[in-house]
Structure 1
Amino acid sequence: MSKINPKPNDSADNEERLKKTISNMEAAEEAMAFAEGQERATIKSKNERRAKSIEDLKNEIIEEDKSRVNGYI
């Protein structure tokens, strides 16, 4: 059995991840106009998770900026 090694948190790419997540969410919202039933529910569920990720990434970026200003990073 292989052991799963999580990736370390690399905050250097948070802004890029944020942009990509927002872009994916917008594309999914456009696709939802053509989706029905289970596919529509799946898109909606994913977008709810994306919204949470966007909020968390924004907060993390703000906290890291504060840390840089205060000399912690």
Structure 2
Amino acid sequence: MNRQKPNPDDRSDNVEKLQSMVQNTIENIEAAEETMAFSSPEEKAKIQAKNEKRKHAVEGFREEIKDEAAAREREQ
């Protein structure tokens, strides 16, 4: 049997990764909104629905950032 050891839980850069994910998602929202100017009504509806999901994701990322920052503080 070849069992792999699990990787240690390294949370040291989670806040930075999450902040990057927030920034990328916001940029995607903005790019999609620019695209809507040239889109059909059907495409606009799809873009708006996707952007709503993105906005919810950003909210979730921000909550995770708070949690990770608090965990980082407790570890110090």
Please name the residue that 1:36 is paired with: 40
Aligned equivalents of 1:63, 1:35: Cα separation in 2? 39
Query: RMSD over aligned Cα, in angstroms?
Result: 1.7
Please name the residue that 1:53 is paired with: 57
Calculate the TM-score normalised by the size of structure 1. 0.76
Q: Which runs of 4+ in 1 moved over 2 A?
A: none
Moved more, 53-62 or 28-37: 28-37
Gaps of 5+ in 2: 1-10
Paired residue total: 63
Q: Which has the higher contact order (CA 8 A, sep 6+)?
A: 2
Gaps of 5+ in 1: 1-9
Calculate the TM-score normalised by the size of structure 2. 0.73
Identity over aligned pairs, percent: 37
